[in-house]
Homo-oligomer: A and B are copies of this chain.
Amino acid sequence: MLTLESFRKTVHDHVLADIYARARGLYGRHIVHVNATYQGGGVAEILYSLVLLMNDVGIDTGWRILHGSQEFFETTKGFHNALQGRKFNLSKEHKRLYMQVNENYAKFTHLDHDCIIVHDPQPLGLIAFYKKRQPWIWRCHIDLTSPHEELWDWLKGFMIKYDRVVVSNEKYVKAQLPVNQKVIFPAINPLTPKNREMVSKTMLRIIKKAGIPTDKPVITQVSRLDPWKDPEGVIDVFRLVREKVDCRLVLCYNVATDDPEALTMYHKVMKKASGLTKNHDVLLVVGNNEMLVNAIQRFSAVVIQKSIREGFCLAVTEALWKGTPVVASNVGGIPLQVEDDKTGFLLEPDDNKGFADRLVYLLKHQREADRLGRNGKEHVRRNFLITRLLSDYLDMLNEILTRRSRTAQEHCDTKS
Give residues in A with beta carbon < 8 Å to B: 1, 30, 38-39, 51-52, 55, 60-65, 67, 69-70, 103-104, 107-110
Given the known interface contacts A61-B108, A108-B62, A109-B62, the answer about A103 and B1 at a Cβ–Cβ threshold of 8 Å is yes
What is the CB-to-nearest-CB distance from A82 to chain B, in angstroms, rounded to a whole number? 24
Measured between beta carbons, the chain B residues less than 8 angstroms from A38 are: 65, 67
Chain B, residue nearest A73 (CB): B39
CA distance A61 to B110 in the complex (A): 8
CA distance A63 to B109 in the complex (A): 7
What is the CB-to-nearest-CB distance from A105 to chain B, in angstroms, rounded to a whole number? 9
CA distance A38 to B105 in the complex (A): 11
> Is B67 in contact with A65, judged by CB distance below 8 angstroms?
yes
CA distance A39 to B67 in the complex (A): 8
For this chain, the copies found in one complex come to 2
Contact of A52 among B1, B39, B104 (CB under 8 A): B104
Measured between beta carbons, the chain B residues less than 8 angstroms from A60 are: 110
What is the CB-to-nearest-CB distance from A125 to chain B, in angstroms, rounded to a whole number? 15
CA distance A1 to B101 in the complex (A): 10
Chain A interface helix/strand/loop/mixed: mixed
> Is B65 in contact with A65, judged by CB distance below 8 angstroms?
yes
CA distance A229 to B62 in the complex (A): 42
Measured between beta carbons, the chain B residues less than 8 angstroms from A107 are: 1, 52, 55
CA distance A110 to B407 in the complex (A): 28
Chain B, residue nearest A51 (CB): B108
Report, nearest first, the 9 A-B pairs whose CB atoms are least far apart: A38-B67, A51-B108, A63-B108, A60-B110, A55-B107, A55-B108, A65-B65, A52-B107, A62-B108
20 further contact pairs, Cβ within 8 A, besides A1-B107, A62-B108, A63-B67:
A1-B103, A1-B104, A30-B110, A38-B65, A38-B67, A39-B67, A39-B69, A39-B70, A51-B108, A52-B107, A52-B108, A55-B107, A55-B108, A60-B110, A61-B108, A62-B109, A62-B110, A63-B108, A64-B64, A65-B67
CA distance A62 to B32 in the complex (A): 14
What is the CB-to-nearest-CB distance from A33 to chain B, in angstroms, rounded to a whole number? 9
What is the CB-to-nearest-CB distance from A416 to chain B, in angstroms, rounded to a whole number? 32
CA distance A109 to B52 in the complex (A): 10
CA distance A51 to B67 in the complex (A): 13
Chain B, residue nearest A63 (CB): B108
Measured between beta carbons, the chain B residues less than 8 angstroms from A1 are: 103-104, 107
Selected A-B contacts with CB under 8 Å, 26 pairs: A1-B103, A1-B104, A1-B107, A30-B110, A38-B65, A38-B67, A39-B67, A39-B69, A39-B70, A51-B108, A52-B104, A52-B107, A52-B108, A55-B107, A55-B108, A60-B110, A61-B108, A62-B108, A62-B109, A62-B110, A63-B67, A63-B108, A63-B109, A64-B64, A65-B65, A65-B67
What is the CB-to-nearest-CB distance from A62 to chain B, in angstroms, rounded to a whole number? 6
Chain B, residue nearest A37 (CB): B67
